[in-house]
Amino acid sequence: MEKHFDWSSVEPKWRERWTELGVGHADVTSTKPAYVIALPPPNITGALHMGHASTFSIQDTVCRERRMRGYEVEWAPGTDHAAIATQNVIERQLAEEGLTKEELGRAAFQSRVDAWYEEYGGRILEQMRRMGYTCDWERLRFTLDEQYVHAIRLVFKTLFDEGLVYRGPRIVNWCPYCRSAISDEEIDWQVQTDTLYYLKYPVEGGQSITVATVRPETMLGDTGVAVAPGDSRYASLIGKHVTLPLTWRVVPIIADQAVRPEFGTGALKVTPGHDPTDYEIGARHSLPIVNVIALDGTMDVPSLPQFHGMPVEAARTAVADALRALGVLVKEEPYAHDVGHCDRSGTVLEPLVSEQWWVRMASLAAPGIGAVESGEITFHPARYTDVYLHWMRNIKDWCISRQIWLGHAIPVSTCGNGHRFAWIDPPTRCPDCGDTSLTDDPDVLDTWFSSGLWPFAIFGWPEQTPDLEKFYPTDLLVTGRDIIFLWVARMIMNGIKFTGRNPFTDVLITSTIQATDGSRMSKSKGNTVDPLDLADKYGADAVRAWAAAVSTSVQDMRFDEDRIASYQRFANKLWQVTSGFLVAKVGNGSIADLDVHPPKPETLRPEDRWMLAELAAAVRACDSGFAAYRFHEAVDALYDTTWHSFCDWYVEIIKFRLADAGDHESRRAAVWTAVTTLDVLLRLLHPFMPFVTEECAQQLPNAEPTLQHRSWPDQDPLWSEAATTSAHHEIAEAIELVKRIRALGHGHKVPRGARDRIRITVRDGEGRGINKHVSRLIGGLVPATVVDSHERGVDPAVVVSGRLHAEVVIADTAADASATARQIGLLEANVSRLQAQLANPAFVNGAPARVVDEARRRLAEATAQLDLLRRGRLGGSADAAG
């Protein structure tokens, strides 16, 4: 037998078995109720990272549990084409070869992309199989699938025909690196310290006005100066004109409510072409738009050759220098502010005016707000409800066009007569006039436009396929909080708009795993942790159980490798107690043929009932954990019950019974209880740790080919009955007593392993002997011999637990009574606190009866224990003295 659980040999076996048995595949004709999760599609060329490990592990855990509960589970996997990310990779490759995509041409570029997908596509799917995720691989989808493309075009055409998609010039977030517009949700704001420049402009009539700006280079495109409407400092200047240095353009001074009088000088230079606020001010005051920055992020000012073609950063300094030389630059100070970066390339965004496609969101958002307000869709944790609603209620039109090559082409053409129309199948002629000289729109769609259709497009929508019928709407969506707006909100809006149904009922937002220092994990920082490395090191089960346990409690969780290691040891513990103890020792190599019919209840010993009651509590904790998406509660309860209640106490207790071959009935009850407990625990743990639980369950009686074919444990009436008997309490007290007797050994030089040197008597509160079984049980758990009574003349240490107390004599010498004294001290403190509390009428009258009763009960118990300890001590001393 292997010394330890060897996941590296076990995992491949079970992955194959699950595939052979079709565990992940859902039968669309099944009469079982469907339970469906649409996998958030990872980038096809991506690699499994911590975020995936945490969200995917939870999804698989839920899927496995639902299968055991009798649902037809569909966990639909797929991948996203990730247009911008992939295009950037290919362009970097080309750059290394000294090429640009324009030199290569569109067709050749596309084949490079295809080759890249071919080489790296689906790697992440292999990694997911490696982790044991039971997706329905037969329903694998890709956002570039023909059917999926059809769905996208239909959605676009519908929105276009309804006037919800429009094209127009507006100021957009332009990424000079990607050479594309991006949406507001794709901006990564970063704090940056720049210089705030104060520019003093001459005003007609000999006065002057000073504006503050961090971007002096944009003054080349200024077409106005704005002040706050009520600002008395500038009231007299409103309507006058300023002559701008360098361009010598004459621009008006206007009053606009967007100006914050307290900032800088209270006067704002207005650059409608390169600032979103200024764009709006300009629109309100009909100021002209002057573009001075080109799409590549360089200055576009042919009339000022000294700046033309300069990168913006360089132009900033150059323009500032020129203004300084002219005496216009009157002050400079450091200024920290947020600067928008492209979340794909990290490049500083350049707001500029350009012609883009937009979706009108307001009417789409309204029902999406209602679905969440009404509780039809629930966020977990609940606080994300407000995050979602706030964004939805303030939603802005969505820029969906991208000026990149890769992705879904915007399905719009324009004919020679200027008719613009959207299409589903590529057209040959204009539907309005029949003209055949068609020009296709050059842009592609935002990737999120396509992923927003995921939950229904993957099942064949718009066709009313059997899959769509059976599996849509889905039930649960599990994802990180970073894509609530980008993806979750848009799926809700699209789902309602195009299917008339909410796409899911529950949204689970997982914790974010941070680096050990609390910073964000990122490839560029080099502080990422690879879940597959961890799976190599600790086994997939350990990574999965850890991921599930940490992903549903806090908002952010620092990565703690030791905690993963603890789940690896837990897997080993499970395997040891199953294979090494139950099978090897109890069953002499096999327990497959064991009689699993419950024994007569009266043959169950108190400890058996205690174990069953503990098991019942674990089932309850596990069920409520699943129901509330609080998986850490389920994992913690199962870990504790398995390791401590079962392995540390129950198994240790029954070892003595198992060794007693004479008592056949007792042995049978113990074996049955142990096997039953383990079987239930393995089933409950299976969703979290599928590999080790399968490996263990195979060795138990009545094994199925996979635990996925077993049912989820129900509460057995026998267990509840066990919990209501006094057995549970009795054993709990005995366990506590054992701990206290053991504690005597610490710090008191009690020689361990010297059973014959330590003698104990165990009695109840009235000084009577206790149940023989329990007394023997205690004797088996401590290194001591149980005797009926001590010889006269010795001074026992006394320990108390509940109604039980033990007199302990070590090596026939006077025991160090400090343990007894310590207990007395604690109890005295306890008693006086309880007495004070109960003497307070405000407490007795004000607190609920159950609380007061409980306080009285505790006081009575503590008082009784105190009496026992004092009597034991005094009595012993008196005898010793005599």
Partner RNA sequence: GGUCAGCUAGCUCAGUUGGUUAGAGCGCGCGGUUCACAUCCGCGAGGUCGAGGGUUCGAGUCCCCCGCUGACCACCA
Cis bond before residue 462 (omega within 30° of 0)? yes
Residue 756 as a binder of RNA (CB under 7 A): the answer is no
CB 722 to RNA: min, Å: 19
CB 267 to RNA: min, Å: 7
Q: For residues 701 and 596, what is the distance between their CA atoms, to the nearest angstrom?
A: 7
Q: For residues 91 and 178, what is the distance between their CA atoms, to the nearest angstrom?
A: 10
Residue 482 as a binder of RNA (CB under 7 A): the answer is yes
Residue 334 as a binder of RNA (CB under 7 A): the answer is no
Residue 226 as a binder of RNA (CB under 7 A): the answer is yes
CB-wise, 13 or 585, nearer to RNA?
585
User: Which of 684, 707, 699, 706 lies closest to 575 in space, CA to CA?
Assistant: 699
Token reading at 10: 């076990």
Residue 118 as a binder of RNA (CB under 7 A): the answer is no
CB-wise, 158 or 195, nearer to RNA?
195
How many residues contact RNA, by CB under 7 A? 104
CB-wise, 3 or 523, nearer to RNA?
3
- Whole-angstrom CA distances from 728 to 285, 614, 845 are 81, 8, 33
CB 299 to RNA: min, Å: 17
Q: Is 430 left (phi over 0), alpha (psi -120 to 50) or beta?
A: beta
Write phi, then psi, for 268 (nearest 5 degrees): -120, 130
Query: Which one among 19, 147, 277, 378 touches RNA, defined by CB under 7 A?
Result: 277
Residue 276 as a binder of RNA (CB under 7 A): the answer is yes
Write a three-state SS string for 610-672: HHHHHHHHHHHHHHHHHHCCCHHHHHHHHHHHHHHHHHHHHHHHHHHHHHCCCCHHHHHHHHH
For 732-746, letters b (16+ CB in 10 Å) and e give bbbbebbebbbebbe
CB 351 to RNA: min, Å: 10
Which of these ranges, 137-145, 163-171, 567-575, 589-597, lies near RNA under the rule CB under 7 A? 567-575
CB 471 to RNA: min, Å: 31
> Could you say which residues in the range 375-404 bind RNA, by CB under 7 A?
383, 386-387, 390-391, 394, 396
Q: For residues 326 and 457, what is the distance between their CA atoms, to the nearest angstrom?
A: 62
> Could you say which residues in the range 187-216 bind RNA, by CB under 7 A?
187, 189, 196, 211-215
Residue 833 as a binder of RNA (CB under 7 A): the answer is yes
> Could you say which residues in the range 53-92 bind RNA, by CB under 7 A?
none
Q: For residues 635 and 489, what is the distance between their CA atoms, to the nearest angstrom?
A: 31
CB 170 to RNA: min, Å: 13
For 272-304, letters b (16+ CB in 10 Å) and e give bbbbebbbebbeebebebbbbbbbebbbbbeeb
CB-wise, 568 or 708, nearer to RNA?
568
Is 10 within 8 Å of 692 (Cβ atoms)? yes
CB 524 to RNA: min, Å: 14
Query: Which one among 317, 553, 724, 832 touches RNA, defined by CB under 7 A?
Result: 553
Write a three-state SS string for 83-121: HHHHHHHHHHHHHHCCCCHHHHCHHHHHHHHHHHHHHHC
Q: For residues 392 and 510, what is the distance between their CA atoms, to the nearest angstrom?
A: 21
Any idea of the CA torsion for 559, 565, 566, 567, to the nearest 10 degrees? Answer: 90
Is 259 within 8 Å of 266 (Cβ atoms)? yes
Which of these ranges, 296-304, 323-331, 529-537, 743-751, lies near RNA under the rule CB under 7 A? 743-751
> Could you say which residues in the range 791-820 bind RNA, by CB under 7 A?
none
Chain position carrying tokens 């339970």? 35
CB-wise, 78 or 625, nearer to RNA?
625
CB 827 to RNA: min, Å: 7
**Reading across the β-sheet that carries 165-175, which strands appear in turn?**
180-182, 165-175, 350-359, 398-399
> Could you say which residues in the range 531-550 bind RNA, by CB under 7 A?
550
CB 320 to RNA: min, Å: 12
Residue 867 as a binder of RNA (CB under 7 A): the answer is no
In a 13 Å sphere around the CA of 556, the CA atoms on its Cβ side amount to 10
Query: Which one among 13, 520, 664, 709 touches RNA, defined by CB under 7 A?
Result: 520
Here's the x/- map for RNA, 412-451, by CB under 7 A: it reads as ----------------------------------------
DSSP 745-806: HTTTTPPTT-GGGEEEEEE-TTS-B--HHHHHHHHHHTTSEE-SSPPTT---EEEEETTEEE
CB 514 to RNA: min, Å: 7
Which of these ranges, 239-247, 336-344, 603-611, 667-675, lies near RNA under the rule CB under 7 A? 336-344
User: Which of 776, 743, 736, 738 lies closest to 861 in space, CA to CA?
Assistant: 736
Query: Which one among 594, 743, 787, 794 touches RNA, defined by CB under 7 A?
Result: 743
Which of these ranges, 161-169, 693-701, 716-724, 824-832, lies near RNA under the rule CB under 7 A? 824-832
CB-wise, 213 or 499, nearer to RNA?
213
Query: Which one among 107, 839, 842, 881 touches RNA, defined by CB under 7 A?
Result: 842
Which of these ranges, 122-130, 290-298, 595-603, 744-752, lies near RNA under the rule CB under 7 A? 744-752
CB-wise, 405 or 570, nearer to RNA?
570
CB 640 to RNA: min, Å: 7
* CA angle (346 as vertex; 340, 348 as ends), nearest 5: 40
Query: Which one among 317, 840, 867, 874 touches RNA, defined by CB under 7 A?
Result: 840
Residue 3 as a binder of RNA (CB under 7 A): the answer is yes
Is 179 within 8 Å of 403 (Cβ atoms)? yes
> Could you say which residues in the range 577-616 bind RNA, by CB under 7 A?
577, 580-581, 584-585
Query: Which one among 13, 204, 263, 355 touches RNA, defined by CB under 7 A?
Result: 263
- Element (DSSP H or E) covering residue 588: none
Residue 518 as a binder of RNA (CB under 7 A): the answer is yes
Is 516 within 8 Å of 559 (Cβ atoms)? yes
Residue 139: count of CB within 10 angstroms of its CB: 20
Q: For residues 429 and 324, what is the distance between their CA atoms, to the nearest angstrom?
A: 59
* CA angle (397 as vertex; 393, 399 as ends), nearest 5: 140
Strand duo 267-270 + 378-380: pairing: unpaired
Query: Which one among 64, 249, 269, 490 touches RNA, defined by CB under 7 A?
Result: 269
Which of these ranges, 55-63, 305-313, 737-745, 867-875, lies near RNA under the rule CB under 7 A? 737-745
Query: Which one among 338, 469, 704, 867 touches RNA, defined by CB under 7 A?
Result: 338
Token reading at 310: 């300069």
Residue 262 as a binder of RNA (CB under 7 A): the answer is yes
Which of these ranges, 232-240, 365-373, 712-720, 845-853, lies near RNA under the rule CB under 7 A? 845-853
Torsional sign, CA 281, 284, 285, 290: positive
CB-wise, 652 or 721, nearer to RNA?
652
Query: Which one among 739, 769, 825, 860 touches RNA, defined by CB under 7 A?
Result: 739
CB 648 to RNA: min, Å: 4
> Could you say which residues in the range 168-187 bind RNA, by CB under 7 A?
184-185, 187
Residue 258 as a binder of RNA (CB under 7 A): the answer is yes
Chain position carrying tokens 């549970």? 728
For 670-684, letters b (16+ CB in 10 Å) and e give bbbbbbbbbbbbbbb
CB 240 to RNA: min, Å: 18
Residues sharing a CB contact under 8 Å with residue 146, sequence separation 6 or more, in sequence order: none
Query: Which one among 172, 203, 268, 619 touches RNA, defined by CB under 7 A?
Result: 268
Residue 821 as a binder of RNA (CB under 7 A): the answer is no
CB-wise, 176 or 266, nearer to RNA?
266
Residue 826 as a binder of RNA (CB under 7 A): the answer is yes
